[in-house]
Amino acid sequence: MSRWKPNAEGRFRAAAMELFIERSYEQTTVADIAERAGLTPRTFFRHFADKREVLFNGSARLQEAMLSAVRAAPAHAVAIEAIVAALDGMVAFFGDDRAPARLRRSIVASTPELRERELIKLATLSATLAEAMRARGINEPDASLAAEGAIAVFRVAFAQWLDESELRSLGEIVSASLNRLGTIVAANGPKCSSLRSSRS
Amino acid sequence: MSRWKPNAEGRFRAAAMELFIERSYEQTTVADIAERAGLTPRTFFRHFADKREVLFNGSARLQEAMLSAVRAAPAHAVAIEAIVAALDGMVAFFGDDRAPARLRRSIVASTPELRERELIKLATLSATLAEAMRARGINEPDASLAAEGAIAVFRVAFAQWLDESELRSLGEIVSASLNRLGTIVAANGPKCSSLRSSRS
DNA sequence: CTTTCGATGTCATTGAGTGACATGACTATA
DNA sequence: TATAGTCATGTCACTCAATGACATCGAAAG
């Protein structure tokens, strides 16, 4: 019997998904996952920083997809062009099949611990996007604002995409949301509306 | 000696802040905090859901400030007016003193665990704001988009407020950021720019 | 004074996460 | 083929966050 098991991470992920569905995330211990994967708990933590990470494999690939889309954008793109490219890359990453995303969301949504992790992944995505925009000559605070706005649009649109039936594609929803955000925020008077500058 | 200690939560918070500064968050155990507070670890968890929560006392009050500001807005406010009110309420909540916020941020920023919790507090704030807007007749997806956008603006502006010297007030920075976001997003063509609707 | 109730203490336990060290397996090089 | 090096894994022991069960103390009400 060989001691070395090929594709340990894949084994862990598959075992974890099975157990998270059979029971739930909370009622599954790392020992359970390791047992089903035919490995030990100690090895689990050599492949994943913590129990949550086993569910967040895709975030690195999503980030890569977003980044290469931004870098492929025209050279002197302004902020809006950069985030449109980023959103485009993210939309392409997910394709048409909502089922896996829905399944994953049902697991993540069921546990505060996992919702927290999801948020930090999105925040990382936002920070990475802002950084990429700065690297293309878009300065602060535009880079951060545009990045935060883009991720916010994506989050809202993505949730809608999962909630509604197969009517509109993700791209259509994202596009509509981006336009909607523009309409909303642009309704603000050029001078700052009624926000009082509270110098005490 | 009386067994009952008045203001247990306050004692825990004070003890925790001291220790987080002396050592760090990570190198402080709940047992340490309890000892300095003159209480037991078990009691700590009766007052705080987990170790992180001891640092997030203000978030409930911030949410209250934001909510009452939104509810105080004119009756048929459109999205932009509602979020301006919300931002106004949040700005007022922090006042002029940046020192406490800076200290707290230095602690939170030093630990991924705490950054995650911070994000979920902001996400909760966003969801609450969206809910309040819906209660005032603003429909989806405008409510969610505006709420996400507003929180994004606040987050970026708040970070700037802490980073720069005492030049501009928080209100001024928030106001400027909101306008900037409007300028950026409004630059998007009315029809959706180049985001291809990727119906595979 | 006694009863009741809420806050705390005590004890035991589970499960996440980590460090140290041993061991098996694959690879390179002679 | 032999030997050394390296990498993934197993084993053991440990810390610490978090929780349940139960005892106890203090205060307030009757």
CATH number of the domain residue A49 falls in: 1.10.10.60
Q: Which has more confidence, B200 or A67?
A: A67
Nearest to B188 by CA among A63, A149, A65, A72: A149
Contacts of B112 (CB under 8 A, 6+ apart): A120
Residues of chain A with Cβ-Cβ distance to B141 below 8 Å are 156-157, 160, 177, 180
Position B199 in a domain: no
Q: Say if residue A165 is in the same domain as residue A97.
A: yes
Q: What is the pLDDT of residue A200?
A: 39
Q: What is the pLDDT of residue A53?
A: 97
Q: What is the pLDDT of residue A189?
A: 62
Q: Which of A78, A87, A181 sits opposite B149 (nearest CB)?
A: A181
Q: Are B12 and B37 in contact (CB under 8 A)?
A: yes
Q: Say if residue B76 is in the same domain as residue B24.
A: no
Interchain proximity A117–B116, CB inside 8 Å: yes
Q: Say if residue B62 is in the same domain as residue B35.
A: no
Asked which of A16, A38, A54 is the last residue of a domain, the reply is A54
Q: What is the pLDDT of residue B6?
A: 74
Q: Are B157 and B177 in contact (CB under 8 A)?
A: yes
Q: Which has more confidence, B76 or A90?
A: A90
- Find where tokens 């919300």 sit: B86
Q: Say if residue B161 is in the same domain as residue B93.
A: yes
Token output for B160? 């700037």
Q: Quick check: B1 pLDDT over 50?
A: no
Q: Are A43 and A33 in contact (CB under 8 A)?
A: no
Q: Say if residue A125 is in the same domain as residue A46.
A: no
Position A190 in a domain: no
Position A77 in a domain: yes
Position B67 in a domain: yes
Q: Quick check: B199 pLDDT over 90?
A: no
Q: Which has more confidence, B33 or B166?
A: B33
Position A188 in a domain: no
Token output for A185? 């925020």
Q: Say if residue A62 is in the same domain as residue A152.
A: yes
Token output for B173? 């920075």
The stretch B66-95 carries a mean pLDDT of 95
* Strand C lies under 7 A from the Cβ of residue B71: no
**Which residue positions in chain A have pLDDT lower than 50?**
1-2, 191-192, 198-200
Position A143 in a domain: yes
Please give the Cα distance from A130 to A146 (Å, whole number).
8
- Going by pLDDT thresholds of 50, 70 and 90, the confidence category of residue B2 is very low
Q: Say if residue A71 is in the same domain as residue A34.
A: no
Q: Are A178 and B189 in contact (CB under 8 A)?
A: no
Q: What is the pLDDT of residue A110?
A: 95
Which nucleotides on chain C have any atom < 7 A from a protein Cβ?
A: 6-12, 15-20, 23-26
Q: What is the pLDDT of residue A128?
A: 97
Q: Say if residue A126 is in the same domain as residue A111.
A: yes
Question: CA B91 from chain center: how many Å?
Answer: 11
Interchain proximity B80–A198, CB inside 8 Å: no
* Strand C lies under 7 A from the Cβ of residue A117: no
Q: Quick check: B74 pLDDT over 70?
A: yes
The stretch B116-137 carries a mean pLDDT of 95
* Sign of the CA dihedral with A184 first, then A185, A188, and A193 last: positive
Instruction: Please tell me the distance in Å from B185's CA to the nearest CA on chain A.
Output: 5
Interchain proximity B197–A172, CB inside 8 Å: yes
Nearest to A81 by CA among A27, A35, A138, A30: A138
Position A187 in a domain: no
Q: What is the pLDDT of residue B166?
A: 87
% pLDDT > 70, chain B: 92
Q: Quick check: B196 pLDDT over 70?
A: no
Q: What is the pLDDT of residue A196?
A: 56
Q: How many domains does chain A have?
A: 2
Position B44 in a domain: yes
Q: What is the mean pLDDT of chain B?
A: 91
Q: Quick check: B138 pLDDT over 60?
A: yes
Q: Say if residue A127 is in the same domain as residue A103.
A: yes
Q: Which of A81, A185, A193 sits opposite B185 (nearest CB)?
A: A185
Q: Say if residue B48 is in the same domain as residue B140.
A: no
Amino acid at B131: E
- A53-70 pLDDT, tens digit per residue, is 999 999 999 999 999 999
Token output for B175? 């106001």
Nearest to A147 by CA among A88, A188, A86, A92: A86
Q: What is the pLDDT of residue A75?
A: 84
Q: Which has more confidence, B114 or B75?
A: B114
- B47-56 pLDDT, tens digit per residue, is 999 999 999 9
Q: What is the CATH number for B82?
A: 1.10.357.10
CA angle, A123 then A172 then A161, to 5°: 60
Please give the Cα distance from A44 to A7 (Å, whole number).
12
Q: Say if residue B179 is in the same domain as residue B120.
A: yes
Q: Say if residue A30 is in the same domain as residue A72.
A: no
Domain that holds residue A19: 8-54
Looking at chain A, which residue has its C-alpha nearest residue B200? A96
CA distances from B141 to A144, A147, B25, B144 (A): 23, 19, 39, 5
Q: Quick check: B90 pLDDT over 50?
A: yes
Q: Quick check: B130 pLDDT over 50?
A: yes
